Amino acid sequence: MPRITIGMPVYNGERFIVEALDAILAQTYRDFELVISDNGSTDTTEEICRRYAARDPRVRYHRESVNQGASWNYNRVVELATGEFFKWAAHDDLITPDYLEKCVGVLDRDPGVVLCCTDDQDIDEEGAHVDARRHSHIPGSQRGSSESVSQRFRRLIRDDYDCEQVFGLYRLSVLRKTGLIKSYTDSDRTLLAEIALYGRLFEIPERLFLHRQHTGSSCKANPITSGWHERVSWFDPRLSGKALFSRWRQLREYVIAIVRSPVPFTDKAGSLLWLVLFQRGRLRQLAQEIIVGLRLKLFPPRAKTAVQASGTTALGK
């Protein structure tokens, strides 16, 4: 059994997937399997993936006949995983050859770390470095590293950072205790906050993860102008045009995550308190979502399918 499972959910990824696969298979740490879940691609993605699976026994290729949405596909590769550790890999991102070796080293040395990631570098369609990151007053290396459970939770529910940590290396046994990726925008932030209830996050201060920015990514292909509901059909095509109250759902998921976590009552109480205080700053957004939701219920629009973008790197940024 491999120690690491790398799960790659993909849809129509022919443009960048060869480069991503080559980067994964060039890892200096070789005890891993690569599980690819193809969500019904209509381009040459299937041909490319089958070619790689035929020549490297570490590659397992699974294909669905119908696109079932990004959240289903992200969770599918977790379901198929067999390793001790797990990493999501978007087909358009890259990792340096020593990424796995350095991350697994941290997890082996410190059992209190449940997710190890690295600093990241944005790249453009040609692979050139660009600066497209959001800058926060809380360094990424400190966001989930506190010994205090409630402080970790407090910092990770904030919306002043990008969620690239979600592509780090997890302890699979812990990841499977969470709600994984839900079918609403920003569910990756929910997952990061929940995973922090089980242990610390560690960020290696080296840019070993190269995050691709391109016009085909989910966020750019499905821009938000009036609310999170506009991108939801990328997560699940069946939800297109429905009133979903995603921010309220996220709030509910936060509460559920706190309640079912294994931490002492005092840590649960502290996390709930920070959650309440954080929501005070989102009252306008919560109220607006009710208005938009009621409008959609009373005057449902014609079903509109979100652009099923090839890029799967942006879950909720």
The pLDDT tens digits for 62-93 are 999 988 889 999 999 999 999 999 999 999 99
Pair 152, 201: CB distance under 8 Å: yes
- Predicted local confidence at residue 186, as pLDDT: 87
**pLDDT beyond 50 at 33:** yes
In sequence order, the 6+-apart residues with CB closer than 8 A to the CB of 137 are 160
Phi, psi for residue 282 in degrees, rounded to 5 = -115, 15
- Predicted local confidence at residue 306, as pLDDT: 47
* Mean predicted lDDT score pLDDT of the chain: 86
Q: How confident is the model at residue 302 (pLDDT cuts 50, 70, 90)?
A: low
- Predicted local confidence at residue 213, as pLDDT: 84
Fold for the domain defined by 1-317: Spore Coat Polysaccharide Biosynthesis Protein SpsA; Chain A (3.90.550)
| Residue at 13: amino acid letter | G
pTM: 0.85
DSSP conformation class of 301: P
HEC letters along 198-257: CCEEEEEEEEEEEEECCCCEHHHHCCCCCCHHHHHHHHCHHHCCCCCCHHHHHHHHHHHH
- Predicted local confidence at residue 229, as pLDDT: 53
**pLDDT beyond 80 at 310:** no
For residue range 115-161, list pLDDT tens digits in order.
999 999 999 888 888 886 665 656 666 888 999 999 999 999 998 88
**pLDDT beyond 50 at 312:** no
Neighbour count for residue 297 (Cβ, 10 Å): 10
SS3 264: coil
DSSP conformation class of 126: T
Q: Please, which contacts does 283-288 make with residues 24 or more away whose CB atoms are closer than 8 Å?
A: 285/247, 286/247, 286/248, 286/251, 288/227
Domain locations along the chain: 1-317
SS3 278: helix
**pLDDT beyond 80 at 233:** no
Q: CA 133, CA 125: separation in Å to the nearest integer?
A: 16
**pLDDT beyond 50 at 241:** yes
Pair 195, 174: CB distance under 8 Å: yes
